[in-house]
Chains A and B, each alone.
Chain A
Amino acid sequence: MNGIVITTLLSVLLLLACGNSNNGTYKDYTDARLKVARSYADYASAEYDLLRATASTLNTRADAFTQEPNAQSLADIREALHRCRTLWQNIAPFQFGPAVDVALRSALNTYPTDIDRVEANISSNNYTLGSIENLDAEGYAAIGYLLYGINSSEQQVIENFSSPDASYRINYLLDLTERIQTLTEQVALKWASSSGEYYNGFVSKESLGTDVGSALSLIVNAYELYLQRFLRDGKVGIPAGVRSAGVPRPVAIESYFEGTSVSYLTTSMRAMKQIYTGEFGIDNYALYDYIVELDFQDLADEIVLQWDEVILLAEELEEPLQDQIASDNDAVLAVFLELQKLIPMVKSDMASAMGVIITNQDADGD
């Protein structure tokens, strides 16, 4: 009896479902996720390649500067550092896979730099880059300290690298730029579209679900983590004092010595928006498009609008950020709060609409 009931009910339901809706009943979700994975793999591939090339320039210019420290060679290496740090903003939200294997983010962009540690390493000329205790004595921020000093004039910096006892300082700078080049190259190689092993696995069929480890899950988790921890907290919240009982910590900004933090902040926000909308090339099928495909058009648009709000507000901040914090920290806090509004949209609504779990911990459910 029960069997007959079930069969009848199921067939009635089946007929109903097939009969009344011809539009939108079939969607190729695997194909949609393949397009997503490909767009982002191409993006990562291209951006890592740019970063690799620029890291190599930085390294070459470090050679040139240390061989002949003068105003021109200093300007050249400073320019290369600035380009590296700007490009880094584009790829910083893609920290998974090969980048995580070499801990790229902490090696390249740990800040604030521990000045005492840097000076101690230089004077001892005995250190292991990549060790935990040296994470805040290497990377872009440490190079920034070496090339700009604390309110030092160009002449002072040039003297630091040309005095008779500068050899340890020179070694340190060269070690820092070389390590950045090596790590960036390793990651870029794995992402290279023609030969990169990671690229191919990323767009393979097994990777096109939504489970932990799938391409979509990696993208969404990395995007959310970056938004929350590195953009909202690292670039804005922590310097503005949200984790220190409201007492601002201007030394905790991204580029304290160069004074270009606002520029990196807005670059990062624009990159995050572009990564979301797919405006990073021709015909890119991005998170936005996938959300629309899943019938969440309103949500998809709302996230774009919120990015616009955030960018508009951040563009009003004055460079350098430490001065802005000192003169009007409320403007910085306002950016923090506006960024905060994005978090539920991305972490709750977007992830849930996609069925992607925000946590890279694998666990059973029921």
Chain B
Amino acid sequence: MGPLGVYIIKRSIQIIITLLVIMTLIYVLLEALPAKPYMLLMQSPGLTPQQKEAMIAAMGYDKTPWERYWIYMRNMFTFNFGDSFMTGRPVRTILFGGYINGQYEYGRVWNTIILFGLATVLSYLVGYFLGAIIAWKRGSLIDSGTVVSGLVFYNMPSFWLGLILIWIFAFHLGWFPLTSNEWMKFGYFSIEYIKALILPLTVLLLISLAGTTLLMRTSMLDVMGEEYIVTAKAKGLPEKVVLYKHASRNALLPLITSFVIALAFTVAGGVITEQVFTYPGMGQLYIQALGQLDLPIVYATLYLITLLVLLGNFIADILYGFLDPRVRIQ
């Protein structure tokens, strides 16, 4: 088995251990909550003691924490997420989509992935071109203008930018819907969905473009200092060719690794962005469930996020190994 195989195995073990540790930590944290999920439901004064006991048992609190821990770990690894405490709906359907009471519910995970995946892809795409251009025109007005505005957007709270965009475009101009639920009647491939996506996408783009553009720019500047660029220019190649064929392609590498890692974090989504635009994604579900102490959803969401982030990092590592021969040699 080659060095790559060994590496994969080592990393896999690492990932599993990390996953176990994180899940245990999450469990401990949530167990430390003094408020228990059944407390909210017990407020209803007409309940008999038997009903209360049944409720507690349904939530699993008649068992000891240790027992619950094993059940929890087992469930998470078998993707058996159970039913929501609040609505009784199966968590897996809420997350991944499916039919509830005859109506199709769109999976929250996919919603988040679409929005943030698109945002990531677009951000890197635009960042690639924009970064290349402004690095080429270094020192010009475009360069400093882009850098400055990128800095400003990077330091802007995303929710505020979202509120302002809502105010201007959704309210005053009416171009986009104010709440983000209408499209569910029409599905993913509809104008309504696109309209619902545009504002959150814009916010995400504006804020992350700063990072990707600057990254590309820095990488380009590094590359442009290399000797083969000087050679290319000396050869008399037109600027466009030097820029696109030689410089920017080689500057791509850090961008790609960054991109893959960013994709891995897509799943975490932007809890804040989803909240501001009431976009029905995982982040918004997470906040809601946390507030209602709907633990099955909380556990499932955190587990998925952790799992996918770890996997994403893993893939990024391997990809990086493939793409950059220098790493493999080490």
**Co-assembled chains A and B:** no
